[in-house]
A and B are shown apart, each in its own frame.
Chain A
Amino acid sequence: MARKILHLDLDAFYCAVEEQRNPGLHGKPFAVGGRPDQRGVVASCSYAARKFGVHSAMPMAQAMRRCPNLIVVPGNHRAYSRVSGQVMARLHNLTPLVEQLSIDEAFLDVSDLPDSPENIARALQADIRRELGLPCSIGAAGNKLVAKIANNIGKASAQVRPGQTPNAITVVPPGQEAEFLAPLPVRELWGVGPKTAEKLESLGLHTIGDVAGWPESDLIRRFGKHGADLSRRAKGVDNRPVITEHEAKSVSQERTFATDISGGTQLRRTLRSLCEMTGRRLRKRGLSGTTVRLKIRWADFTTLTRQTTLGHPTNLDAEIYAAALELFNNVWPEGKRVRLLGVGVSHFESPGRQLSLWDSGPPPDAPLQKTLDDIRERFGSNAVKRGSQLEQDDE
């Protein structure tokens, strides 16, 4: 049976939240991010600002040059994650099969709903607009690959008038996946970065259709296993299921800094709070993992991941942090600028714990951790925090 997959993406999400907080920003060119004199970077910008050629990840100083009237709004991640949680809750009301990709993006598998994908998408978009006051765009297709590309294309080609957002809905009917992809440039395809694109173009393959028509065996010969994936994707074939958090193989948290950070104290403090968030999510779901992974992205966008295996599965903040910190200390040269930090725990095992011969008793942190979790559950994540986190909030 053909699947019905939706890809939902909130339009200029940070900006939409900021507009709610300050309606005076409506229709104005503004950007969320770090201040230009602090070498800030655009994290998100309003559609009015995009008209001037401002886009995310652009240095704020450059954005100011392109758009001198640009209003710079400092980011408020706590507000974004709260609103994101409300959106995701709406999606879960529709179907349990939700795969959250990031703070403002998710896949939904709505195959079991009787309505047409287009109607489901319209209703969902209207619901999020009405209840939460947020604009979003939706792509619908028979698989994740095509739904996402459809949404990207729909958003990009929408005519956005001043003070408005794309609100695009793009549906690719079943059986027309390959036809839809064919005219698009190869770069739109997942797994095609600048290098692969260059290689493909040197073969004269400019569109996804060109790749789909090229012999698979030749792609495999040139690109190895990746070649087979390329050929399959170019034909619009993608059998990956929507993976709900419940089935996820890892739990992770990451943070992109508004400005690249080079201070060890702040990086380690961020690392600790990422570990705490990861630990809390693990405990909430009754999971323990044996592998701790650190993700770090430098100012030039190169990204490293390093992982370590613990002797036993854990979900305790202190143990996750100890492992992540060791990885961090090994990979981070003092003073190097960091754009993103992430922490993940995977390889879940039943949370049995081998007791130690030399210092008996259950892990001393466990009862404390449970109490802290209970307090945060009742009174919010900020009800209890470390002394070291207080300073950060003053900044």
Chain B
Amino acid sequence: MKVSCLQENLAKGLSIVGRAVASRSTLPVLSNVLLATDGDRLKLSANNFELGINCWVGAKIEQEGAITIPARLLADFVNSLPPERIDMELDESTQTLHLRCARFESNIKGIDAQEFPVVASASDSDVAIKLDPESLRLMIKQVVFAAATDESRPVFTGVLLQFDADKLTMAAADGFRLSVRSAVLNQNVADTLEDAGLAGNGAKAPSLIIPARALTELARVSGEQEEPIDLIVTSGRRQILFHLQDIELVSQLIEGDFPDYNRIIPKGYSTRSVLDTANFLKAVKISHLFARDSANIVRLEISPSGDELMNGRITLVATSAELGDNVAEIDASIEGDSMEVAFNAKYLIDVLSIIDSPQFALETSTSSSPGVFRSIGDENFTHVIMPMHIQTR
């Protein structure tokens, strides 16, 4: 293999595949990145079995070939080089890659490319659902943070994707909160899904559970892309492939049944408060300073004014036995009864940070029933947080 490419291109490619490199693996080759010539481009691949990423960078190919190189060393090395041309040549007999850029030269010992587990790649026969990248990134941002980080219930580490005619819904939950976002697709995907072997199960819409980490990576690597992203379910339904310009991301699907989240979302409320998103976020962040010492508890005292022309208010109270306390007041237009409810401040900050409408509604019923957060002017987003129960001694 004999290849030349620009330092900027190689550095960018390595950073794209970097997150799919296994950090601690019993299989040494998984800590490596695959470099392989592919037509007139250089293909980079990384694979940790849960997530695999292919990325193609423009290159001048003089001689075809492939090798795997320790990803960390290569990325650190290339990132340190000046923005010039890098010449790479593989010594087949020793599996050593010789790199030269400006006045730097190095030899990096690799592992035979044959040992690298192939990352699936899209073919022309695959049936793809086209997704608008901007809308996809927004969906991911508004949902993915609610997924569980601990592995005790694997389905909760994933994001549920549900297809219904021309609508896609994403949902993620851990034990305590749920985030749901839907979007209209440019096409009716019922037939496409059938072709892909992804027909619904009776009354249930066709669905997939994708690891939250994979979607976070997808949002990251699709950063600049404006063309639609192809979603392809590989045969056997075990993997999902996102095809972007010059990038492919392949993820394992999570097996299992995602619980019916619709039954978690309350159908009604006794109190509805409409608030300014930025003001409320600021107040919660201040409360959090005092709450983080005591299980992040922030108490919300919701007080309607009783007069239609007047604003009501929400008082946020955070108390730390050791540090002190904080009280913040926020104007709100409130309909319904006055009530008190306590939430984990961190969960409030998480959701308020991703609501992009200037106002949101908080719907509550009792101090032990879920609170529902909705963007004003955007019906496609729903977030549910379970309150904290404050024990009376």
| Secondary structure of the B contact surface, majority rule | loop
- Which of A76-84, A180-188, A353-361, A373-381 contacts the other chain? A353-361
Q: What 1/0 mask marks residues of chain A from 331 to 370 whose CB sits below 8 Å from any chain B CB?
A: 0000000000000000001111111111011100000000
- Which of B1-9, B56-64, B205-213, B380-388 contacts the other chain? B380-388
Contact, CB under 8 Å: B368 / A353? no
Rounded to whole angstroms, the CA-CA distance of A197 and B171 in the bound complex is 63
Residues of B within 8 A of A357 (CB): 173-178, 264, 370, 384, 386
Rounded to whole angstroms, the CA-CA distance of A222 and B391 in the bound complex is 51
Contact, CB under 8 Å: B176 / A354? yes
Contact, CB under 8 Å: A353 / B321? no
Residues of A within 8 A of B321 (CB): 350
Contact, CB under 8 Å: A313 / B295? yes
Contact, CB under 8 Å: A358 / B264? yes
- Is B344 an interface residue when CB atoms closer than 8 A count as contact? yes
Residues of B within 8 A of A353 (CB): 388-389, 391
Find the residue from B178, B344, B391 having the highest chain A CB count within 10 A: B391
Rounded to whole angstroms, the CA-CA distance of A358 and B258 in the bound complex is 12
Query: Which of B319, B370, B391 interacts with A351 by CB under 8 Å?
Result: B391
* CB within 8 Å for A352 and B295 given contacts A357-B173, A362-B389: yes
Report the nearest B residue to A353, measured CB to CB.
B389
Q: What's the least CB distance linking A340 to chain B, in Å?
A: 31
Interface residues on A, range: 10 to 19
Query: Which of B176, B177, B294 interacts with A349 by CB under 8 Å?
Result: B294
Contact, CB under 8 Å: A354 / B344? yes
Contact, CB under 8 Å: A362 / B368? yes
- Is A24 an interface residue when CB atoms closer than 8 A count as contact? no
Rounded to whole angstroms, the CA-CA distance of A360 and B264 in the bound complex is 10
- Is B342 an interface residue when CB atoms closer than 8 A count as contact? yes
Contact, CB under 8 Å: B386 / A352? no
Residues of A within 8 A of B24 (CB): none
- Is A114 an interface residue when CB atoms closer than 8 A count as contact? no
- Is B390 an interface residue when CB atoms closer than 8 A count as contact? yes
Rounded to whole angstroms, the CA-CA distance of A284 and B178 in the bound complex is 36
Query: Which of B259, B297, B319, B368 interacts with A355 by CB under 8 Å?
Result: B368
Rounded to whole angstroms, the CA-CA distance of A92 and B246 in the bound complex is 76
Query: Which of B176, B259, B391 interacts with A352 by CB under 8 Å?
Result: B391
Residues from 155 to 193 in B contacting A, C-beta threshold 8 Å? 173-178
Given contacts A350-B295, A357-B386, 4 further A-B contacts (CB under 8 A): A351-B390, A351-B391, A353-B388, A354-B386
B residues at A contact (CB < 8 Å): 173-178, 259, 264, 294-295, 297, 319, 321, 342, 344, 368-370, 384, 386-391, 393
A residues at B contact (CB < 8 Å): 286, 288, 312-313, 349-358, 360-362
The 5 residue pairs across chains A and B that have the minimum distance between CB atoms? A350-B294, A351-B391, A355-B386, A352-B297, A286-B393
Q: Could you list some 18 contacts between A and B, CB below 8 A?
A: A312-B295, A349-B295, A350-B294, A350-B295, A350-B390, A352-B295, A352-B388, A353-B389, A354-B175, A354-B386, A354-B389, A355-B176, A355-B368, A356-B386, A357-B176, A357-B178, A358-B259, A360-B369
